[in-house]
Structure 1
Amino acid sequence: MKIGFVVNQIETETGGYSTTQLSSAAVHRGHEVYIISVGQLCYLEDGRMGAIAVKAPNTKFRSLNKYMDAIHSPQAERIHIASDDIDVLFLRNNPCEEFGERAWAQTAGMVFGQIASANGVLVVNDPYALMSSFNKMYFQHFPETVRPRTIISRDADEIKEFYRKEKKKIILKPLQGSGGKDVFLVDNDKNLNQIVETINRYGFVIAQQYLPAAKNGDIRVIMMNGKILEINGKVAAVNRVNNNDIRSNLHSGGEAIHAEITDDVRRLCEIVGPKLVQDGMFLAGIDIVGDKIMELNLDSPGTINAMHRLEGVDFSSAIIDSLERKVKYQKHYDGSLPNAFLATLNP
């Protein structure tokens, strides 16, 4: 199998990223792996998707840091590829990290992914569905029972009214964003105007019910093909905790510990599974607090490396194995299976 991994920028990738572990797992399974910065994608005159990629060496490195050193090396093999050179395009770039001068990169992976899909490449997650889900509004299309009470607005008076209805304790965050950036717990009238004004600079404000269970952090669960990723009774999940901070994201100082998979966790994942399948969301990160889902992460769900370490299970190889089986089915059907259907097919 030949697989391309699209990232924000190769130069900023590290051995601690889940994408690194996924691409390394593909190398270990004997596949040809190409790492592609989103800005190195292109449209060729014959209608194919093209890219300048770093070809991962076939060496089985002892550590992910050594593996990334080889990817970053000036001696790394850089080649021009086209869509017919790969079987799978794995979109792992995070649009929410692209602001300012790189705003052009926010949708680039999805746009070029659509071209690759039209060329017969399996693209995950489905690039058409990703185009409608790269901000948090997508979450509002899931059943109300799984979501905290929420409004999305730029009107300060509406947000203040919601704040009063929620007994003066809410979460405020931007509609677009990730990694815990600009997430605030508001329980003081004096700070409300300033926080709303700050977030409004970047667009719409999400005002969300505060869940007391958040003091225990959140549980990140990885779902694959619309189901919890589970191997031999071990679940791809971590409990992310952060003392004295409402943000549990590992990038904002959170710590990953073993997660207890409760009936509530399984129920919530079961409810969202059908829509993830319908939309071709091969891999999803579900963030759960108590009996509610706080967020869905669909562009580049992480913490897979932490799950591997805590549970002693190679979840990355299971993910690559699923892609292998999809590619086989795609070839059996001579490319006639729709991308969104194939993306979540679980043969």
Structure 2
Amino acid sequence: MTIKLGIVMDPIESINIKKDTSFAMMLEAQKRGYEIYYMQVNDLYIDNGEPRASVKQISLKEDPATFFKVNKELDINLGELSVLLMRKDPPVDSQFIYATHIFSLAQAQGTLVVNNPQALRDFNEKLFTSWYANYIPPTMVTAKKAQIKAFHKQHKDIIVKPLDGMGGTSIFRVKEDAVNLGVISEIITANETEHAMVQAYMPEIKLGDKRILLVDGEVIPYCLARLPTGTETRGNLAAGGRGEPQEVNEADMQVAQAIAKDMSEKGILFVGLDMIGNKVTEINITSPTCVREIEAAYPINICARLFDAIEKRL
């Protein structure tokens, strides 16, 4: 029986195939003979309790000019799919959450959803780290400006960031002089109406913000260190960081394995840990990236491991 793969992602026309992890996943699925159905969040809908979507059945090739072709357009019951990948980038806003409820309806009909829609609702990428407090830098989540000020007074040099951002957006560093701490606190908490995260600044960022991938509870032994460039304090590639593939060191491996052992039982098959030094700063489960950069540098097929895990569950 042909495996039918649905993938929910941002507009496919806008991706860079040399770096896009979703594209790598679809190539691996196509190599295995899957039928691939592409859709965006606004293509999802519910009809009298039935999870449905307007989809495009596509084929792909490694050609930047014509990397995908629409073979046909269909309207389907998501329960007809063998597996459904959620690859929509954050923010995890209300539309994202509504989509996970639609996925849960498909899941109830027998579709394997990766990652588990309940986990996508339960585990915010930044808040998820609080379940592993032994492995994170000094961290506070608060909506109160006074608490941010007190945290800064204690740690002197801090990072302030929103809970729903990605790619390094709206991340601020406040040094010991506390310049602009007041206005940053106002902006980041929307005048004490929204929670934000503050963390002690880690000088180890100069050695890279490391993306370590977990597949079905196993740690991929290679990672991508994202190094800040120029005067930047952010290593995110979207913020101009430079990617440097490297082997996962022993200290990071121990931390990653401690977290990885919990993922499979939660239905989380694909995870991107962000680590600075040997401290975890985020646990990404919505749409982890960096597969193509790692695969280009080392003899490993990460997507093959993912689809092996998926097929084991089908």
Considering the TM-score relative to the shorter chain, is it more than 0.5?
yes
Aligned to 1:66: 66
1:325 matched residue in structure 2: 312
Contact 1:91-1:109 within 8 A present in 2 as well: no
Cα distance per residue 1:112-157 (max 9 Å; x no partner): 1111111111111110111011352222122x21111111112111
Residues in 2 aligned to 1:41 and 1:13: alpha-carbon distance in whole angstroms: 21
The structure with the greater share of residues assigned to helix is 1
Alignment of 1:96-111 (within 5 A): 96=91, 103-111=93-101
Query: 1:89 matched to which residue of 2?
Result: 84
Matched, 1:208 2:199: yes
> Is contact 1:9–1:38 with CA below 8 Å preserved after alignment?
no
User: What pairs up with 1:103-252 in 2 under 5 angstroms?
Assistant: 103-142=93-132, 144-166=133-155, 168-187=156-175, 188-201=177-190, 203-229=194-220, 235-243=221-229, 244-252=231-239
Instruction: Give the distance between the partners of 2:116 and 2:77, measured in 1 at CA.
Output: 19
Percent identity of the aligned residues? 25
- Deviation of residue 160 (structure 1)? 0.9
Q: Distance in 2 between matches of 1:237 and 1:131?
A: 26
Give the conservation status (yes or no) of the 8 Å contact 2:37–2:55. Answer: yes
SS of 2:164's partner is coil
Matched length: 307
The residue that corresponds to 1:334 in the other structure is: none
List alignment gaps of at least 5 residues for structure 1: 230-234, 328-347
Shift in Å, 1:277: 2.4
Q: Output the aligned Cα RMSD.
A: 1.9
Q: Deviations over 1:272-305 (max 9, x none)?
A: 1233223211100001111211111110000111
1:104 Cα deviation from its structure 2 partner: 4.2
Partner deviation per Cα, 1:300-339 (whole Å, 9 max, x = no partner): 0001111111214332223223212221xxxxxxxxxxxx
TM-score, length basis structure 2:
0.91
Counterpart-to-counterpart distance in 2, 1:133 and 1:64:
35
Look up the equivalent residue of 1:52 and give its one-letter code: S
Do the aligned residues in 1 keep the contact of 2:85 with 2:114 (CA within 8 Å)?
yes
SS state at 2:261 partner: helix
1:37 aligns with 2:26: no
Cα pair 2:90 2:166 within 8 Å, conserved: no
Structure 2 counterpart of 1:198, one-letter code: I
Query: How far apart are the structure 1 equivalents of 2:52 and 2:208?
Result: 42
Q: CA deviation at 1:65?
A: 5.2
- Structure 2 match to 1:291: 278
* CA distance, structure 2, for counterparts of residue 262 and residue 128 of structure 1: 32
State the Cα distance separating 1:64 from its structure 2 match. 5.6
Question: How far apart, CA to CA, are the structure 2 residues paired with 1:209 and 1:279?
Answer: 29
- CA shift at 1:90, angstroms? 0.8
**Alpha carbons of structure 1 residues 256 and 62: separation in structure 2 relative to 1, 3 Å:** same
Cα pair 1:35 1:55 within 8 Å, conserved: yes
Q: Which has the higher strand share?
A: 2
Query: Is contact 2:210–2:225 with CA below 8 Å preserved after alignment?
Result: yes
Q: Which runs of 4+ in 1 moved over 4 A?
A: none
Shift of 1:110: 1.1
Q: 1:56 to 1:326 in 2, by over 3 A?
A: same
Give the conservation status (yes or no) of the 8 Å contact 1:304–1:315: yes
Write the distance in 2 (CA, Å) between the matches of 1:131 and 1:245. 32
| Superposed counterparts of 1:269-308, under 5 Å | 269-308=256-295
